[in-house]
Every structure is written in C-alpha cells, then in structure tokens.
A and B are shown apart, each in its own frame.
Chain A
Amino acid sequence: MNGPQDLGGQMGFGPMAPETNEPLFHADWESRALALTLAMGATREWNIDKSRHARESLPPAKYLSMSYYEIWISGLIELMVGQGLVTREEATAGKMAVPPKPVAGKLLAKDVAAVLAKGGPTSRTAAAAPRFKPGDKVRTRNMHPTGHTRLPRYLRGHVGEIVRLHGAHVFPDTNAHGKGENPTTLYTVKFPARDIWGEARHPRDTVSADLWEPYLEPA
C-alpha cells in the first residue's frame, strides 16, 4: 500500500540526528514494548508480513508522529484486537474483561535463547524455476496495490539489473493477508541512481533492492 511507511525519496524530515553513545533503550517502556512484540509473536496468530502491514496501516499522521516503539505497540494492539486476543477496552484498562483465546504457543524464558537462535527463515522450496538470471534487465511493474507489498514507490516502473538470486522466499503480498506463503523467487535488483532520481545524482551511484518475481517483467 502507498502508506506512510514508504519513505524512500520523501523530503522535509530534517537532518540526521545520530546520538553519541546512544543507549539501547531510551526508557524502560521501550524495552518492554520490544519484548512484548517479540513474545506475542509466539502465539502464531500472525506473521512478520501481517505485523508490518498492521504498522503501515496506522493513519499516516499518527505513524509519522510516533517513535518506532510506539508504532510497534500500536501495531501490536491492532493485531491482537483483530485476532480477538484482547479488546480495545482491555488494552486501555490493563485488566482482563473477557476470557483469553486459546493460542498455539507461548514464549517461555527457558526457550528464549533457542527461539532467537532459530529465527524465522523465509526461504522455501521453489514452486517454479526462476524466470530471470543474473545480468538480465528487468522493469519493475507500475503497480499500486491497496494491500501489503515490498516494492517501494520510488522503484516502480524502473529498469534494473538482476545481480543476485536468493531462491524462493515467502511472498509478503499474500502472506500478509492470510493468503498463504506462496513461495516466489526473490532477486536483488540494482538500479542506476540517475535513472531513479535524475541527472543531479552521481553517475556511478546505484540503489539495489530485494524484489520478488511478480514485481518484475523483462525489459
């Protein structure tokens, strides 16, 4: 979706503001927000694509005014309400009003190290042979889906070159919407910066992105 998350090339957000000796968390609630988000993933009520879609579906003005952990917590509440794990009233009150919904899993402290070490690989057995190979020129589709996609707006309708094949990976555009993992070939595609941003850019600079086959057509 053309939501507030799709920031590449937007202007007016101001200068970089790196902090010297930045703390890992700026307040206790940030660490709890991170941990709650990770722990609730163990319920398997959603996947990473669905959680990204929940965040990017926040109203743009709110999204842009929030810190990142606020975005995470707001997204988490939307996911939990949507799945019937909690009600909005419960989330506000911090008190149970309706019984819990049975869920598939719960993260226990003793399992944290193993769960983090395992992660969530998204590579899958390919359902079809790759359509493109390294060196091929491809054009990104001019598409504007209302659902989740990982093709940023600034890269739509541009010609690039396949520089790497990653095999089949879970396809976010379907996985975010409960329509299955739909393993699809993933490529790294490299674009000349000038083709995207114009003649003012350095002639040798490039921008690359990891793009799924349905985003691409032969050029």
Chain B
Amino acid sequence: MPHDHDHDHDEGSELSPIALRVKALESLLVEKGYVEPEALDTLIETYETKIGPRNGARVVAKAWSDPKYKAWLLADATAAIASLGYTGRQGEHMVTVENTPGTHNLVVCTLCSCYPWSVLGLPPVWYKAPPYRSRAVIDPRGVLAEFGLTLPDDTAISVWDSTAEIRYLVLPMRPQGTEGWSAEKLSQLVTRDSMIGTGIALKPGATS
C-alpha cells in the first residue's frame, strides 16, 4: 500500500505536523464510515499510474499526424479527446488552443489550480503556487524566460485564465525534422510543459 504503514514504528519522530494531521483525519473519517481506505489507495494509484501527461502527449501526437483529428480536436476537444479514452474529472469540458509561429498559448488558473487532469494528470507544485498564478497573466514573457523559453518579439502570447470548468490543452507546434514519424515516436517529444505553454516540444534527438 502506498501508505504510512511503513513508518508506524517511529511516526512520532518522522512525521511532520501536517502529516500527523492528515493521518488523524483519515483515521477519523474511516472510523465514522465516510471513507473506504481501499478507495483512497485506488485513487492514488490511478493518478500515479494511469492518468498523467502521457495521455495528453498521445492526443498531441495524433493531432500532429492526422489532419482530420487535429481539425476535430480544435473544433470539439472534449469529443476528440474522449475518442482516445480520456474523459472525466477535471477534463469534462475541454478546449484546445493551437500554437503557431505567430501565437504562443499559455494556460494558468489565477484563482485556484484548475488543470486538465484527464490529459495531464495532477498539476506540478509550481502551477498551483503564487509565483506562477500571480505572474502568468501580467508578465508571461518574464515567466517563460524563467522556464528557459524566449519567444520572438513578434510572437503574440495568448494567456488563458481557467476561471470556469473549461480546461485548456495547448497544442504545441510539431518540431521540424520529424517528417514520417509515427504517432508513438512523436509523442516522445511532447512534454507536459509544452501542453501548458511553459515549454515547447522537444527537438528530435533530445529524447533517449
């Protein structure tokens, strides 16, 4: 079990106050019958092994290699993504925004941590933290520079603040030199950050 059980022998010295607090809460909620411990394990296992950015990478790679799919993805992202089996929580209503030489897209949630779980999994810490949430809307170029991405000055940046239940997936530009690649091979170039907009797709040769 991905649990605290391993640490029970010396929890007093090992667990932080917040860890103890969460442990106490879990014990209470199980005792009161609100929560089934196995359901917690299954939830965690799902996000550790089944729902993550490889889902989104497959969506992007298919769009790169199939023009009809790309058109569908841009017109009705929810349905196009669902056709690959990615549906549900925090991906109920999807919109795909396409990067072009003229426009780069960047997704943020200034009010909380809205993120397309169904295709990207759980968000990284920085996505939920005040520096990114505060600055992505007012200083996107500064933010991108700190991620190591400097865009040409004539590229417009389009920031999408996820204020409702619409979840955004950035469709990065397909790297040059990938003509004839299979979707599976292309998907290896699609990073999580390239689908948030804080990065771009890897160049051929950058992957192992």
Binding site for B on A (CB under 8 A): 5-11, 13-19, 22, 24-29, 31-36, 38-40, 43, 48, 52, 55-56, 64, 67-68, 70, 73, 76-77, 85-86, 90-96, 100, 103, 106-109, 111-113, 115-123, 150-152, 154-155, 164, 166, 169-170, 172, 186, 188, 190, 193, 196-197, 201-202, 204-212
Q: Which of B60-68, B152-160, B182-190 contacts A (4 or more CB under 8 A)?
A: B152-160
Whether the Cβ atoms of A86 and B41 lie closer than 8 Å is no
A6: B residues at CB distance < 8 A:
110-111
A209: B residues at CB distance < 8 A:
160-161, 163
Instruction: Please measure, in the bound complex, the distance between the C-alpha atom of A159 and the C-alpha atom of B118, giving whole angstroms.
Output: 33
Residue in A closest to B160 when the chains form the complex, CB atoms: A208
Taking A5-B111, A68-B129 as contacts, is the C-beta distance between A202 and B23 under 8 angstroms?
A: no
Which of B4, B48, B132, B163 is A16 in contact with, Cβ under 8 Å?
A: B132
A112 → chain B closest CB, angstroms: 4
Instruction: Please measure, in the bound complex, the distance between the C-alpha atom of A34 and the C-alpha atom of B125, giving whole angstroms.
Output: 13
- Interface mask (B131-169 → A, CB under 8 Å = 1, otherwise 0): 111110110110100110000011011111111111000
Residue in A closest to B140 when the chains form the complex, CB atoms: A205
Instruction: Please measure, in the bound complex, the distance between the C-alpha atom of A33 and the C-alpha atom of B133, giving whole angstroms.
Output: 22
Which of A15, A27, A68, A108 is B113 in contact with, Cβ under 8 Å?
A: A68
Instruction: Please measure, in the bound complex, the distance between the C-alpha atom of A38 and the C-alpha atom of B29, giving whole angstroms.
Output: 13
Instruction: Please measure, in the bound complex, the distance between the C-alpha atom of A40 and the C-alpha atom of B40, giving whole angstroms.
Output: 10
Interface of B is mostly: mixed
Whether the Cβ atoms of A86 and B87 lie closer than 8 Å is no
Residue in A closest to B89 when the chains form the complex, CB atoms: A119
Taking A15-B131, A90-B28, A96-B32 as contacts, is the C-beta distance between A205 and B90 under 8 angstroms?
A: no
List 27 A–B pairs whose Cβ atoms lie within 8 Å, in order of A's numbering.
Answer: A5-B112, A7-B130, A10-B130, A13-B135, A16-B135, A18-B124, A24-B48, A28-B7, A29-B4, A29-B22, A34-B44, A36-B26, A91-B28, A93-B24, A94-B24, A100-B32, A117-B89, A119-B91, A150-B163, A152-B111, A166-B93, A170-B165, A186-B164, A202-B157, A205-B140, A206-B157, A208-B161
Whether the Cβ atoms of B146 and A15 lie closer than 8 Å is yes
Chain B residues bordering chain A, tally (CB within 8 A): 83
Kindly list the 8 A-B residue pairs having the minimum CB-CB distance in the complex, ordered from nearest.
A94-B24, A8-B110, A210-B164, A204-B156, A119-B88, A35-B40, A109-B38, A29-B19
Flag whether B9 is at the interface (Cβ < 8 A). no
